[in-house]
Amino acid sequence: AQTVTQSQPEMSVQEAETVTLSCTYDTSENNYYLFWYKQPPSRQMILVIRQEAYKQQNATENRFSVNFQKAAKSFSLKISDSQLGDTAMYFCAFMKPNAGNMLTFGGGTRLMVKP
C-alpha cells in the first residue's frame, strides 16, 4: 500500500514571495503519477499540477512547479509570486495507474498568503 506524508500542517508566506510545500511518499511501484490539489475554504478541490514518474523533467504550470526526486520519493510544490487567492489547503496525492486510478492523499498543508 502507498502512503503519502505532508510534514508541514501549516505554512504562511507574504504576498509576492515564494513558498515550497513538502511531500514524501512510500511505494514499491515504478510507474505512478503524483498530483498536487488545492482546496480553498468551502470550495471544491482543484488540480494544480501533476507529474508522471517516468518523466525526469519537473512539471511546471505558470507560477507552480514541482521538484520531483524519484529516488528520494519526494515531490515538493513551489509557488512563486504568491497571491492572496493561493490561500488554501494543499494536498499531495499518489496514483497507481491501471488499478482503478484511485488517489491516496497526504494529510494536507494549510497555506496562508499574507498581504
Spatial distance between the Cα atoms of 26 and 87, rounded to a whole number of angstroms: 27
Stretch that binds other proteins, among 14-22, 37-45, 62-70, 72-80 (CB under 8 A): 37-45
Q: Which of 3, 40, 46, 81 binds other proteins (CB under 8 A)?
A: 46
Q: Does 91 bind other proteins (CB under 8 A)?
A: yes
Q: Which of 35, 36, 68, 75 binds other proteins (CB under 8 A)?
A: 35
The three cell numbers locating residue 2:
502507498
Q: Does 11 bind other proteins (CB under 8 A)?
A: no
SS3 77: strand
Number of residues that bind other proteins (CB under 8 A): 26
92, β-bridge pairs: 36
Q: Which residue has the cell 510544490?
A: 77
Region for 98 from its dihedrals, namely left if φ exceeds 0, alpha if ψ lies in -120 to 50, beta otherwise: left
Contacting residues toward other proteins, per CB under 8 A: 4, 6, 33, 35, 37, 43-47, 50, 52, 91, 93, 95, 97-98, 100-108
